[in-house]
């Protein structure tokens, strides 16, 4: 019996690839789901990699409250269409590229609220025709102004009006987790991105550390992504910078302020992209560029 | 309980937090989202004084009864320290229209609020090319559901308090009496108070228009009217907002060693 189990484990195929290999799975024109809420757990190193590769015409599907991971793709000209309920940097400020592109009419935005975005992702993951929203949604202007997304139907049981939204799926979604084993079982210490990964045709996990299967089994109740859904796993330490990786390091407020300043004009942002993406070869050079060795103490989680 | 002299002993944010504390009696759960340090302070004060059974829901991390006791500038995951339960966003979202949600109070703000308590966090102007692009509606649609809502702001000026919002992210009383019912909102929800750095408003029962409930020490009714872009209902006698006690201020400052609270209002 033990030999059979060991044989199973040695024959099991690892999904671990390099960041470059994973980034090449994202093709122009794809619908790309991106994890990361507030300034936490965004797959930011992955996003910088696809910018470096010159990704184009993407449709982005974020979480309900997204920031850098979306805004930088907008600033780099990679995005054709954006589903959103919130794009901003919370207390640090407005998302500069999002604001600039919208105010110049250059972005196709699907203006949703949390229900309209997340319940559509849920519908996309559970395989239903549409998802009903609670009573009262007719009072919200996202519903009134987006009749392509929010439809009004009759409740077949009571005859009442009900607002419904369609399923929303991505071609690929990318999440950043604290730990992931080689088979895709991931432990996210922040908000689990269940809705995103269940509604994606392919899933990439970038992780602070790749852990052995023993770690997964000892912590199976903390595993938030089922490995069977995962197509590629990449080890990317400090992969969330300048954002926080819950449980590992906090956000780099100084870098966010620099970013927002750079986002004020197209030229300033081009210089930012050159400095932190185009003139660098890979994530390791990025970590040198931000002088991680000096930052590490400042970014430590202090209670 | 010793009274404070608000000219010297406390700031606007502390007056706002003290008001929130006082109005959480009998509430089952108080929930906050991002940029909500003032409500956080009011909720922690309530738990430490008259309402030890009050549940505190930290929306961004979907965590219950966080015991991280230091005010921070922004949202960060240390707030989950000492939490008693946790859920993912999908389950968290499903909470908001739970029929038992009438026992909850939620706190929200926006960049435009009108006289019916409607809130805008999306944009001003045309959807395709807005004059002003805000971050987006996010969870403001919760105002349509069943929780009681306390609106709060860090500033008070006529660009924030407008006659009519350009976009309803969070429905208050829409266009007046019957508005919510016509849109299918279930009873019990909607805004109860608007808490600003200079005044407190509630809502007139008949007209559903914002009504000046009290003016903070050091401010006047005239000033409130000048800084509000519509005419609220002003009762004959507008009392002064009750300031926090000396003990309440001491408690608040013990949770705010970095002195962030006074910087949150302008």
Query: Which of the four pLDDT bands, split at 50, 70 and 90, describes residue A6?
Result: confident
| Interchain CB contact of A64 with B (< 8 Å) | yes
Q: What is the per-residue pLDDT across A218-273, written as a single tens digit (0 to 9) for each?
A: 999 999 999 999 999 999 999 999 999 998 999 999 999 999 999 999 999 999 99
| Interchain CB contact of A132 with B (< 8 Å) | no
Residues of chain B with C-beta less than 8 angstroms from the C-beta of A63 = 89
Whether residue A86 is contained in a domain is answered as yes
Residues of chain B with C-beta less than 8 angstroms from the C-beta of A161 = 184
Whether residue A243 is contained in a domain is answered as no
| Interchain CB contact of A63 with B (< 8 Å) | yes
- As a whole number, mean pLDDT of residues B69-76 equals 81
Q: Considering only residues 185 to 244 of chain B, which have any Cβ-Cβ distance to chain A shorter than 8 Å?
A: 185-186, 189
Flag the least confident range among A8-22, A93-107, B70-84, B232-246: B70-84
Quick check: ipTM above 0.85?
yes
Whether residue A7 is contained in a domain is answered as no
Whether residue A241 is contained in a domain is answered as no
In terms of pLDDT, which residue wins out, A171 or B71?
Answer: A171
Query: What is the DSSP secondary-structure string of B132-183?
Result: EE-S--TTGGGGGSSSEEEEE-S---TTTEESS-SS-SB-SSTTSTTHHHHT
pLDDT above 70 coverage of chain B, percent: 98
Question: How far off is chain A from B191, nearest CA to CA, in Å?
Answer: 14
B139 close to A114: Cβ distance less than 8 angstroms: yes
DSSP A138: G
* pLDDT value at B219 more than 90: yes
Whether residue B129 is contained in a domain is answered as yes
**What is the bridge-based pairing of β-strands A186-187 and A170-180?**
antiparallel
- Scanning A53-109, the segments in alpha helix (DSSP H) are 68-75, 96-103
Query: Which of the four pLDDT bands, split at 50, 70 and 90, describes residue B7?
Result: low
Across the A:B interface, residue pairs with CB atoms under 8 Å apart total 175
Q: What is the per-residue pLDDT across A83-107, written as a single tens digit (0 to 9) for each?
A: 999 999 988 889 999 999 999 999 9
Residue bearing tokens 């559970």: A126
Whether residue B96 is contained in a domain is answered as yes
Q: What is the per-residue pLDDT across A35-76, written as a single tens digit (0 to 9) for each?
A: 999 889 999 999 999 999 999 999 999 999 999 999 999 999
Cβ contact, residue pair A250, B130, below 8 Å: no
| Interchain CB contact of B178 with A (< 8 Å) | no
Whether residue A64 is contained in a domain is answered as yes
- With b for 16 or more beta-carbon neighbours within 10 A and e for fewer, the A85-99 pattern comes to bbbbbbbbbbbbbbb
| Interchain CB contact of A84 with B (< 8 Å) | yes
Query: Which of the four pLDDT bands, split at 50, 70 and 90, describes residue B1?
Result: low
Whether residue B120 is contained in a domain is answered as yes
pLDDT above 70 coverage of chain A, percent: 100
Whether residue A204 is contained in a domain is answered as yes
| Interchain CB contact of B99 with A (< 8 Å) | no
Whole-number pLDDT of residue A301:
78
Q: How many domains does chain A have?
A: 1
Query: How many angstroms separate the most distant Cα atoms in chain B?
Result: 55
CATH number at residue B204: 3.40.1080.10
Query: How far is residue B105 CA from its own chain's centroid?
Result: 9
Q: What is the per-residue pLDDT across B121-179, written as a single tens digit (0 to 9) for each?
A: 999 999 999 999 999 999 999 999 999 999 999 999 999 999 999 999 999 999 999 99
Mutate one of A107, A122, A141, A252 to test the B interface: name it (highest B CB count within 10 A).
Answer: A141
* pLDDT value at B119 more than 70: yes
* pLDDT value at A5 more than 80: no
Whether residue A34 is contained in a domain is answered as yes
Whether residue B7 is contained in a domain is answered as no
Residues 6+ apart with CB under 8 A from B79: B58, B60, B61, B63, B66, B68, B72
Q: How many domains does chain B have?
A: 1
Which of A64, A113, A139 lies closest to B183 in CB terms?
A: A139
Q: Considering only residues 159 to 178 of chain A, which have any Cβ-Cβ distance to chain B shorter than 8 Å?
A: 160-161
**Residue B227 structural domain:** 12-264
CATH number at residue A87: 3.40.1080.10
End-to-end Cα spacing for chain A: 47
- As a whole number, mean pLDDT of residues A290-296 equals 93
| Interchain CB contact of B58 with A (< 8 Å) | no
Residues of chain B with C-beta less than 8 angstroms from the C-beta of A113 = 136-141, 169
**Residue A51 structural domain:** 21-111+168-208+224-236+249-299
Query: How many angstroms separate the most distant Cα atoms in chain A?
Result: 66
In this prediction the pTM is 0.95
**What is the bridge-based pairing of β-strands B112-114 and B161-162?**
parallel
Whether residue A102 is contained in a domain is answered as yes
In terms of pLDDT, which residue wins out, A11 or B48?
Answer: B48
Q: Can you tell me whether residue A151 is helix, strand or coil?
A: strand
Whole-number pLDDT of residue B186:
95
Neighbours of B7 (CB within 10 A): 8
Residues of chain A with C-beta less than 8 angstroms from the C-beta of B261 = none
Whether residue B177 is contained in a domain is answered as yes
- As a whole number, mean pLDDT of residues B183-209 equals 97
Whole-number pLDDT of residue B109:
95
């Amino acid at each position: 019996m033990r030999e059979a189990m060991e044989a199973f484990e040695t024959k099991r195929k690892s999904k671990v690839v390099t960041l470059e290999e994973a980034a090449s799975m994202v093709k122009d024109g794809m619908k790309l789901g991106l994890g990361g809420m507030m300034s936490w757990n965004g797959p930011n190193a992955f996003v910088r990699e696809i910018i470096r590769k010159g990704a184009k015409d993407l449709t982005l599907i974020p979480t309900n409250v997204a920031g850098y991971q979306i805004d930088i793709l907008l600033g780099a000209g990679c995005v054709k269409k954006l589903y959103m309920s919130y794009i901003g940097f919370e207390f640090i400020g407005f998302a500069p590229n999002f604001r600039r592109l919208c105010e110049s009419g250059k972005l196709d935005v699907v203006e949703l609220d949390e229900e309209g975005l997340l319940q559509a992702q849920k519908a996309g993951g559970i395989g239903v025709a549409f998802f009903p929203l609670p009573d009262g949604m007719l009072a919200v202007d996202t519903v009134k102004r987006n009749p392509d997304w929010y439809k009004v139907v009759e409740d077949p049981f009571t005859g009442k009006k009900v607002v419904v939204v369609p399923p929303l799926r991505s071609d690929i979604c990318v999440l950043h987790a604290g730990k992931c084993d080689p088979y895709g079982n991931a432990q996210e210490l922040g908000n689990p991105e269940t809705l995103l990964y269940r509604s994606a045709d392919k899933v990439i996990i970038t992780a602070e550390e790749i852990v052995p299967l023993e770690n997964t089994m000892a912590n199976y109740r903390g595993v938030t992504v089922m490995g069977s859904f995962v197509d590629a796993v990449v080890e990317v330490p400090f992969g969330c910078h300048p954002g926080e990786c819950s449980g590992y390091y906090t956000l780099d407020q100084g870098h966010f302020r620099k970013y927002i300043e750079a986002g004020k004009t197209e030229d300033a942002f081009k210089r930012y992209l050159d400095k932190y993406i185009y003139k660098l070869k890979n994530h390791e050079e990025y970590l040198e560029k931000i002088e991680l060795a000096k930052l590490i103490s400042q970014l430590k989680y202090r209670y | 309980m010793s009274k404070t002299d608000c000219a010297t002993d406390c700031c606007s944010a502390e007056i706002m937090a003290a008001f929130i504390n006082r109005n959480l009696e009998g509430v089952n759960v108080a929930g906050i989202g991002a940029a909500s340090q003032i409500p956080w302070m009011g909720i922690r004060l309530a738990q430490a004084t008259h309402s030890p059974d009050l549940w505190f829901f930290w929306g961004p991390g979907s965590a219950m009864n966080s015991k991280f006791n230091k005010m921070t500038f922004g949202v960060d995951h240390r707030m989950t320290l000492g939490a008693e339960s946790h859920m993912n966003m999908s389950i968290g979202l499903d909470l908001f229209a739970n029929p038992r949600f009438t026992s909850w109070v939620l706190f929200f703000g926006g960049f435009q609020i009108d006289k019916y308590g409607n809130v805008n966090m999306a944009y001003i102007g045309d959807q395709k090319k807005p004059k002003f692009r805000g971050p987006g509606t996010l969870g403001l649609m919760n105002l349509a559901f069943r929780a009681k809502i306390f609106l709060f702001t860090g500033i008070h000026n006529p660009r924030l308090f407008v006659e009519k919002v350009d976009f309803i992210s969070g429905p208050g009383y829409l266009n007046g009496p019957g508005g919510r019912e016509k849109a299918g909102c279930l009873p019990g929800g909607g805004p109860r108070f608007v808490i600003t750095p200079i005044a407190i408003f509630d809502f007139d029962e008949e007209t559903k228009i914002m009504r000046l409930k009290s003016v903070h020490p050091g401010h006047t009714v005239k000033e409130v009217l000048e800084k509000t872009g519509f005419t609220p209902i002003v009762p004959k006698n507008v009392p002064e907002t009750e300031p926090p006690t000396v003990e309440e201020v001491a408690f608040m400052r013990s949770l705010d060693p970095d002195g962030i609270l006074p910087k949150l209002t302008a």
